Amino acid sequence: MSMCKTPAELEKMRRSGLAVHRILQAVAAGVQPGASTWDLETLAEAAIRREQAVSAFRGYRGYPCVLCASVNDEIVHGIPSRKKLLREGDVVSLDCGVLLDGYYGDSALTVPVGDPARLPPPVQRLLAATRSALAAGIESARVGNFLGDISFAVQRKVEEEGFSVVREFVGHGIGTHLHEEPQVPNYGQPGAGRRLREGMVLCIEPMVNQGSAQVRLLDDGWTAVTADGACSAHFEHTVAITRDGPWVLSQA
C-alpha cells in the first residue's frame, strides 16, 4: 500500500472522515444519565447505515461492536454493554471508524455525561488538556517535520498539565486499511523518526490518564483501563499532511 495518498484519494478519505464525524456527533447526542453503552452502540450502528458505510471495528481481530465506548477509567476499546449504565458526572470516550468507497476514516472524542459543569475540576482539566494535546500534534503534522515532532508536541502539552501519556497504544497511518504504517506514538523526541511527506494520512490520538500512565487489560481481552483507577480521556482525528498544512479530514 502507498503511504502517500493522491489528491483523489484524499477526497475519498475526506468523505470517510466526515461520515465518522457525523456518526460520533449522533452518538454523543445520546450520552445522558441512565443510557447504557449498548444504547450508544445502537445509535452508532444506525448512523453508520445512514452514511451507507461499513463498520471498521466490528469483526476487526474479533472485536464484536461498531463502537468503542470507554467510561471513566477505561482508556480504550471498551465493549458496549446493556449492563453498563452512564451516570451524571461520568465521562465516556467514543471511538468509531468506517469504510466508505474503499477508504477508512477514524475518530474519537470524550464527552461528559450530564452537566459538564458538574465534572470534578481535575477531570475538566484532563479533557481540556487532551483536546489541546491533539491540537498541538495536528499543528506539528507538516511537510518536512518528523513523526517525533508530533509525538513530542502531544507529550509536552500533556505533561505540562500534570497528566500522563499512555504508551501502550499509539496512533497510526490510515487509508485502504484501518491501520497502516507509520505508528504515531504520543511520546517522543523532536526530529526523530520518519520525515513527514505530502499525502501522508495519520490518525493522531492522544490517550491521557489523570494519574499514572500504567494500564491493565480486563478479562474481556479488549478493554484497557488505568492501573490506578483514575480517569482517562481520548481524542482522535484523521489528519492529511498537505503542502498547505494539516488537513483534518474527520472534522466538519
CATH number at residue 28: 3.90.230.10
Per-residue pLDDT tens digits of the chain, which is 252 residues long: 568 999 999 999 999 999 999 999 999 999 999 999 999 999 999 999 999 999 999 999 999 999 999 999 999 999 999 999 999 999 999 999 999 999 999 999 999 999 999 999 999 999 999 999 999 999 999 999 999 999 999 999 999 999 999 999 999 999 999 999 999 999 999 999 999 999 999 999 999 999 999 999 999 999 999 999 999 999 999 999 999 999 999 999
Q: Does residue 165 fall inside a structural domain?
A: yes
DSSP letter at 116 equals G
Q: What is the pLDDT of residue 1?
A: 57
Question: Which domain range does residue 41 map to?
Answer: 7-248
177 phi, psi to nearest 5 deg: -125, 150
- DSSP, collapsed to helix, strand or coil, labels residue 16 as helix
Contact 174, 189 (CB under 8 A): no
CB proximity list for 6: less than 8 A, separation 6 or greater: 199
CB proximity list for 247: less than 8 A, separation 6 or greater: 10, 14, 239, 240, 241
Q: Does residue 133 fall inside a structural domain?
A: yes
Q: Does residue 106 fall inside a structural domain?
A: yes
Cα separation of 50 and 148, whole Å?
38
Q: Does residue 1 fall inside a structural domain?
A: no
Q: Does residue 71 fall inside a structural domain?
A: yes
Cα separation of 32 and 90, whole Å?
10
Total domain count for the chain? 1
Q: Does residue 31 fall inside a structural domain?
A: yes
Q: What is the pLDDT of residue 220?
A: 97
Q: Does residue 2 fall inside a structural domain?
A: no
Global confidence as pTM: 0.96
Q: Does residue 230 fall inside a structural domain?
A: yes
Cα–Cα–Cα angle for 220, 44, 122, nearest 5°?
70
Radius of gyration (C-alpha) of the chain in whole angstroms: 17
- The partner residues of 239 in beta bridges, in order of sequence, read 202, 248
145 phi, psi to nearest 5 deg: -75, 180
